[in-house]
Structure 1
Amino acid sequence: MFLRRKFLGTTVMSAVALSLASLYGSAYAASTQAAQSGAEWWRNAVIYQVYPRSFADGNGDGMGDMAGITSRLPYLARLGVNAVWLSPFYRSPQTDGGYDVADYRAVDPLFGTLGDFERLLKDAHERSMKVIVDLVPNHTSDEHAWFQTALKSPPGSAERARYIFRDGRGENGELPPNNWQSVFGGQAWSRAPGDKQWYLHLFDSKQPDLNWDNPQVRTEFEDIIRFWLKRGVDGFRVDVAQGLVKASGLPDAEIKRENGILVGPMWDQEGVHEIYRSWRRILNEYPGERMMVAEAVVPTGSRPNYIRPDEMQQAFNFDYLLLEGWDAGKFRKVIDSSMALAATVGAPTTWVTSNHDVVRTASRYGQSKPGHHPRGIGATSEQPDEALGLRRARALALLTQALPGSAYIYQGEELGLPEHTTLEAKYRQDPEFFRNKGKEGIFGRDGCRVPLPWKADAPSLGFGPSDKSWLPQPAAYARYAVDRQEGVSGSTLELYRQILQLRRDYKLGSGQLHWIDAGQDVLAFDNGDLRVLINFGTQDMALPAGGHVLLSSEPLQESGKLPGNTAVWLKRS
């Protein structure tokens, strides 16, 4: 056991490097050299996602804000993250949690002021943390000045040309221009009252899609990017990166899901890459290795196109996030394929297990179909096994953070937070829930967005100075509160702090992965001086001789044995 070792694609990787050097020349060589010198910070960074309305409330109005985030930066610094990604905080009617932007250059009063943001940015930088902000280029809010002007302008006008307006089909234009459906449910076309033309919205009707064939749109977003770069932001997470350009003629085609990925003529068109190359040139004008990460939900083979040397630096690894099952073979396969794909363009792999759009990790892996991605969980759904889900989530954290590349943590993951699975309909705010109301099993994303618990015995669990909370917190959250875990040996919070400290000490993010054959239910590999084992089964397994236990996701009750649903890091002798 543990005798056969295999370096991930040694021969293949060498061939890849040679082909990249010939294809991209100095660009690839420069990126390789920068990675080795540590200049490209994003290659191995741990990035923490803050969903502003749910992280910390500074003024007691029940809504998280800039002041609240700033007050908790010491917590994030102690956790050991390298960067903070802020979900949208721009001026917005908040129909879709801020992803319906009315003004890309203004902070919504719900969250504070531009000055508050600049103080947050300064404080984060003083703590050696980068700050990434969300960019939402596929659509605006219907309350954006451009769209309001478009509604007041005639068909064919320059104002309407910034969006995708079309005449309807049918004798009197009463039918939508094509059969496209919204991601949130229902048709993807709407008409304003009294308007004869239809406008496209791949999401909610209050989120009209922009027309990226229009030069004004391109110029506007280049200016928006410069606006935030000049203020010192370190990068952008690009929302719906695969959706900006639509197929010519907008042909009929249903939106389909293949392995959890949306496909159709409204997604992943070749024209998006010209846009990202222009943005990369802008980022390169600024010091400090500014970066972009793509939320590109595309088929596996398309992901490398977004992270070529002259486009974005990262793309979220949805193959890893959307993986279903609790199975060693499946995880090994997706890790292999992810690393090989990223290597073809000289990019790092970006590992992510949770975000604001999916059911929380600890609940997904507590289902009878572990890892399954329901569209929310409600009181009438199968309720996850909370203890089993947490155990698996802790083990998965040791696996994920030991992999070479960059890793993302969604707020609350470090606490082991489960989904709020019994949230009443009267409190739900996600447009996906309302557009699908009545459809079985579609509860939306509110359950993973519930405000964090900081103090178990405080009003709003310490979320803010009052008892207000924009979404109600379940009673179970009290036992996950920060103050219940702080300094407690074996707590999930302390486990994460140890994980991130050892990840830095052993330089795991910039390491190399060497697989070890260890049996059907066990995943095992070396990364530098660290050996990682995760037991996906239920039976205890023998640990290899000669290794010193640095960290385990659960206590090792019996010497030399690794229990089921448990992971361990060993210092190799």
Structure 2
Amino acid sequence: MMSSQILSDGELDREWWKEAVVYQIYPRSFSDGDGDGVGDLQGIIDRLDYVADLGVDVIWLNPVYDSPQEDNGYDISDYRTIYHEFGTMADWEALLEAVHDRDMRLVMDLVVNHTSDQHEWFQKSRQRDPAYEDYYIWREGDTDEDGEPVPPNNWESFFGGSAWEYDEVRGEYYLHLYDTSQPDLNWRNDAVRQDVFDTIEWWLEKGIDGFRMDVINLLSKVEGLPDGDPDSEWTGSEHFIDGPEMQSYLTALDEAVLSNYDVMTVGEMPQLTVESAREYAGTDGPLDMAFHFQHTKLDYDDGERWSVGDWSLPELKTIVDRWQDGLAADGWNTLYWENHDQPRSVSRYGDPENYRRESATLLGTFVLTLRGTPYIYQGQELGMTNADWETMDALRDVDAINHARELLERNGVDEYDDVREVVGYRTRDNARTPMQWDDSRNAGFTDGDPWIKVNPNYREINATAQRTDEESVYSYYRRLIQLRSDRDVLVYGDYTDLLPGHETVFAFTRSLSTDAGTERVLVVLHFDDGTETIDLPVEYADATLRECNYDRDDTDPEMVTLAPYEARVYELFD
């Protein structure tokens, strides 16, 4: 299969967003500049040199818009105002300037499947204002045999329970695929689409460099809103994921707005397949990239998110091979382990107790050497881990709280301790504990009382200690980011899985042929706490070891004995 990254004239199909490494900042938990316990824009400005020194190219900023914060900013009440605890529009403008001054770019979160129920549009819609009456998805519902009200259909919310909420003011149900405070916009309404397009253009005119689009493939719902299959992952999802108008909505957005700017667009898309990714983000698609979630479900037990199951490396390789090969000729991958919605990767796929540094650097090697654009979530470059959520009162994640209550009811138990293990493992709060800057009080995140607990291991895991330690997780990430920046093969090179069936070793090559010759990179990753010896093809006998998370001086990859969670990167020129 020919790579789409080589044009007909032999030149590379270069794009700045393909060559970039993205660093995600969750503002509430990154750095508190005014001491109120909540991270803010000034705090980000104060720490920008740290981000720039890591070597990344793009900052993805989670929502900073005005919001009641029922879902930590993903419930937006005003798209053109900054949430007061984060600062002001002047602060945001100062941040944008500071990012650009450091030769980085700023990508904003775009949340347009739903708004807050406090948004002016919803308030007018529930009052049946003629201009806004159909801005959201309203239905009358029904009654059961006892005369009790019944929602319009059986669709389930991603946060648990019915996807419908009865509104006393309007006297109808509204659809909310997430929290009850997040009503879904009615994208069938031309006025809704125009208002959204205008908002997007307003931000682009302010100078931002693109958007990460939240659950963007949920915009289109099947006409008639029929009942869904109760045995599907989310009841009703076949009627609201990748709906019939999705392509036309995004194509119209691209043609009317996005195509007029040199920006990066990446869609978050539940239940995304390779085939649909090519439609959304292939050569002729309206977006540049899309996030899928297949590898983040490896540790689900029997496909159930609120459970903990075993996972295997061959399963991971099957997923990686599918996406690397499937988008080779048409499309571009996103590479990530963590984000604001995922628990810490070291606690899921590594060994945080015995081999935290080794497994953290191994996972970093995985993200930074595959084909696609790497995304690093704040603290990932330090090897931050999950916290211990001893009580439900400590949780801040509305999704985790809702599901904890559901689990208690489903399992017929009363005590949080009975569901603590799975809730503590899965909660999004694991990604939202404050960034661990140093070993001072509250990890240097704030002088006040933090909005969410600080992970107690900040005294051992923090940025100040790691920045001066050449063997730290941070330093390793920094070197690999620089290596990727220096080597086109790590961006545009073809991918080949050398050991698809091996139970503990993931070995793959990247290769790129140009007029100067062929460059190859060999990556060897050992996902296990034992040792393993493997044979590799003889042509790599002369390869040079460029990076390793152990102190190695051998350069012969033909016969390799790997230590626990060892990662090696070799380079070979023909």
Shorter-chain-normalised TM-score: which range? Answer: 0.7 to 0.9
Q: Residue 513 of structure 1 aligns to which amino acid in structure 2?
A: Y
Distance 1:355 1:114 in 2: 25
Determine whether 1:286 maps to 2:242. no
1:174-573 superposed matches below 5 A: 174-193=149-168, 195-254=170-229, 258=233, 263-287=237-261, 289-300=262-273, 301-308=275-282, 309-324=284-299, 327-344=312-329, 346-366=330-350, 385-388=352-355, 391-438=358-405, 439=407, 440=419, 441-442=422-423, 444-456=427-439, 458-464=440-446, 466-507=447-488, 508-517=490-499, 520=502, 521-527=504-510, 528-537=519-528, 538-541=530-533, 545-556=541-552, 561-572=561-572
Report deviation, 1:562.
2.1
Report deviation, 1:405.
1.7
Distance 1:219 1:395 in 2: 45
Distance 2:126 2:546 in 1: 62
Report deviation, 1:130.
1.1
SS of 1:329's equivalent in the other structure is helix
Report deviation, 1:390.
5.0
Report deviation, 1:419.
1.1
Distance 1:337 1:188 in 2: 33
Report deviation, 1:317.
3.4
Distance 1:281 1:570 in 2: 43
Determine whether 1:69 maps to 2:52. no
SS of 2:178's equivalent in the other structure is coil
SS of 2:50's equivalent in the other structure is helix
User: CA deviation digits over 1:483-518, x for unaligned, max 9?
Assistant: 111121211111111110111122311222244359
Contact (CA 8 Å) 2:346, 2:359: kept in 1 or not? yes
SS of 2:151's equivalent in the other structure is coil
Q: Residue 506 of structure 2 aligns to which amino acid in structure 1?
A: L
Distance 1:510 1:557, change over 3 A: closer
Q: Which residue of 2 aligns with 1:373?
A: none
1:103-182 superposed matches below 5 A: 103-153=78-128, 157-170=130-143, 174-182=149-157
Contact (CA 8 Å) 1:261, 1:297: kept in 2 or not? no
- Point out which structure has higher relative CO (alpha carbons under 8 A, 6+ apart): 1
Distance 1:338 1:506 in 2: 22
Return the TM-score normalized by structure 2. 0.85
SS of 2:483's equivalent in the other structure is helix
Contact (CA 8 Å) 1:181, 1:254: kept in 2 or not? no
Q: Which residue of 1 aligns with 2:307?
A: none
Contact (CA 8 Å) 1:102, 1:145: kept in 2 or not? yes
Distance 1:550 1:123 in 2: 33
Distance 2:10 2:394 in 1: 49
Report deviation, 1:335.
2.2
Moved more, 441-450 or 485-494: 441-450
Distance 1:509 1:421, change over 3 A: farther
Contact (CA 8 Å) 2:369, 2:484: kept in 1 or not? yes
Contact (CA 8 Å) 1:283, 1:290: kept in 2 or not? no
Distance 1:139 1:489, change over 3 A: same
Contact (CA 8 Å) 1:92, 1:108: kept in 2 or not? yes
Determine whether 1:13 maps to 2:9. no
Distance 2:484 2:114 in 1: 38
Distance 1:462 1:262, change over 3 A: farther
Contact (CA 8 Å) 1:45, 1:405: kept in 2 or not? no
Report deviation, 1:406.
0.7
Distance 1:343 1:557, change over 3 A: closer
Distance 1:285 1:307 in 2: 14
Report deviation, 1:351.
0.9
User: CA deviation digits over 1:301-353, x for unaligned, max 9?
Assistant: 32222213241001013233434466443333222210232235x32111111
Distance 1:80 1:262 in 2: 43
Contact (CA 8 Å) 2:272, 2:292: kept in 1 or not? no
Moved more, 243-252 or 346-355: 346-355
Contact (CA 8 Å) 2:214, 2:267: kept in 1 or not? yes
User: CA deviation digits over 1:218-247, x for unaligned, max 9?
Assistant: 001100110110011110111111211111
Could you list the runs of 5+ residues in structure 2 that have no partner in the other structure? 300-309, 408-418, 511-518
Distance 1:218 1:394 in 2: 43
Q: Residue 320 of structure 1 aligns to which amino acid in structure 2?
A: H
Contact (CA 8 Å) 1:177, 1:198: kept in 2 or not? yes
- Figure out how many residues of one structure are paired with residues of the other and give that number: 524
SS of 1:62's equivalent in the other structure is coil
SS of 2:142's equivalent in the other structure is coil
SS of 1:13's equivalent in the other structure is coil
Q: Residue 121 of structure 1 aligns to which amino acid in structure 2?
A: L
Contact (CA 8 Å) 2:229, 2:236: kept in 1 or not? no
Q: Which residue of 1 aligns with 2:302?
A: none
Distance 1:218 1:236 in 2: 17
Q: Residue 434 of structure 1 aligns to which amino acid in structure 2?
A: I
Report deviation, 1:190.
1.0
Distance 1:151 1:326, change over 3 A: closer
Distance 1:262 1:567, change over 3 A: farther
Distance 1:32 1:240, change over 3 A: farther
Distance 2:11 2:264 in 1: 14
Report deviation, 1:284.
4.7
Distance 1:435 1:322, change over 3 A: closer
Contact (CA 8 Å) 2:342, 2:431: kept in 1 or not? yes
User: CA deviation digits over 1:264-293, x for unaligned, max 9?
Assistant: 212111311111112212445534x21210
Contact (CA 8 Å) 2:228, 2:235: kept in 1 or not? no
Question: What root-mean-square deviation, in Å, do the aligned CA atoms of Structure 1 and Structure 2 show?
Answer: 2.7
SS of 1:104's equivalent in the other structure is strand
SS of 1:48's equivalent in the other structure is strand
Distance 1:554 1:257, change over 3 A: farther
